[in-house]
Amino acid sequence: MSMHRVTKTIDFCYGHRLVDYDGKCRYLHGHNGRLEVDVESDSLDDLGMVVDFGEVRDVVKGWIDSELDHRMILCERDPLLETLKAAGEPLYVMADNPTAENIAKAVFNVARDSGLNVTQVRLWETPSSYATYGPADQSAR
């Protein structure tokens, strides 16, 4: 079966650190992240679109801007959490470590919950490293 796919790219900045990690990422540090959000459909709407790029922007970039951009993304088990909260730092707290994999999954779930037929989300943590999240069975849309 043929499919149409569009991809919206969204750039944002964030900081994080990984709990229980024995490498450099155990320290607070930042990234210039780039998200790629794939939306698919087996047919086009009356205008010839899978989805308006503006709708993807409004949903995904809207959530990124309000929840992740220029925030420290931390695991709820992070011992620095209360200190940073008390200092008034902007935070986004996750149940799991804020890896690129888990952030991509969070964005995927937000986009899907909003009604977008998102099939994959890629988060480029650096220009040479990215994580992808999407359903294991691409036919299970």
How do residues 2-27 score in pLDDT, each as one tens digit?
A: 799 999 999 999 999 999 999 999 99
Is 25 marked active-site?
yes
Predicted TM-score of the model (pTM): 0.92
Residue of 25, 36, 40, 89 marked catalytic: 25
Total number of residues shown for the chain = 141
Domains observed in the chain: 4-133 (3.30.479.10)
Judge whether 125 counts as a catalytic residue.
yes
Among residues 16, 31, 75, 125, the one annotated as catalytic is 125
Confidence of residue 137 (pLDDT cuts 50, 70, 90): low
Report percent pLDDT > 90 for the chain.
91
pLDDT at 83 over 90: yes
- Looking at residues 85-106, what average pLDDT do you find? 97
